[in-house]
């Protein structure tokens, strides 16, 4: 069958509450992750007096390794939990983000290198655990012919929000410092986690059922 016009696809996606929650979550998380990735090396340089090479390596390596570990673990547990109930994927994503958020508050304590690195590691690992559920949940609520469009616009929203976040972090750095900016990211992840929890309780079961019916009709 021929593809639907883009505006028709977007209108249909806008009628899926669970997808709108995933989109909002992606934008909130995008702000936090982009700020973290872009400004963490400077935090190490300014706080511990390292050169740019060392700060850039540690600030990037720590985040990427822990996120990769979290994605691997998140994918495994997501599949195990989904055997019992498909909706558990969104629940796992919500709990991962809510558990990740408090670790960024450690930056308010002006931590030493060991504590700061532990905070970065645990936050990024839990964030990765949640991220592993993103596309599987999307496929549970969006019919096959709309999934590429849905993922594309979700990535667009996350990148756009992330770019704005990096800019705002630079403006806020003067008044709150990078420690305050990083701690503020925790608020975004709490909101994202609560949105996912609301979606799990109020919308997900209905949207999964509607997706299955639409997919069956499309065949």
Quick one: pLDDT at residue 2?
55
pLDDT mean over 144-151: 93
φ, ψ of residue 16 to 5 degrees: the values are -110, 100
pLDDT tens, residue by residue, 13-70: 999 999 999 999 999 999 999 999 999 999 999 999 999 899 999 989 989 999 999 9
Give the contacts of 31 (CB within 8 A, at least 6 positions apart): 161, 162, 164, 165, 185, 188
Predicted TM-score (pTM) of the model is 0.93
d(CA 23, CA 83): 25
Length of the chain, in residues: 219
104/215: higher pLDDT: 104
d(CA 207, CA 199): 10
**pLDDT band of 4, cuts 50, 70, 90:** low
d(CA 203, CA 14): 13
Helices (H), 49-146: 52-84, 88-100, 113-131, 134-141
């Amino acid at each position: 069958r021929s593809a639907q016009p883009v505006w028709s696809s977007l209108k249909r996606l806008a009628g899926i509450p669970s997808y709108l929650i995933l989109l909002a979550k992606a934008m909130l998380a995008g702000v936090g992750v982009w700020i973290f990735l872009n400004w963490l090396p400077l935090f190490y340089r300014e706080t511990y007096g390292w050169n740019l090479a060392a700060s850039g390596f540690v600030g990037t390596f720590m985040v990427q390794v822990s996120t990769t570990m979290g994605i691997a673990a998140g994918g495994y547990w997501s599949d195990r939990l989904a055997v019992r109930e498909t909706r558990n994927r969104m629940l796992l994503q919500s709990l991962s983000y809510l558990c990740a958020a408090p670790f960024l508050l450690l930056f308010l304590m002006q931590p030493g290198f060991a504590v700061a690195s532990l905070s970065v590691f645990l936050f990024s690992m839990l964030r990765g655990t949640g991220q592993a559920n993103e596309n599987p949940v999307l496929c549970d609520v969006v019919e096959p012919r709309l999934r590429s469009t849905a993922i594309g616009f979700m990535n667009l929203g996350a990148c756009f929000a992330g770019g704005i976040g990096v800019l705002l972090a630079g403006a806020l750095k003067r008044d709150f410092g990078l420690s305050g900016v990083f701690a503020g990211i925790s608020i975004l992840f709490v909101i994202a986690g609560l949105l996912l929890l609301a979606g799990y309780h109020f919308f997900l079961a209905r949207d999964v059922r509607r997706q299955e019916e639409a997919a069956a009709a499309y065949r």
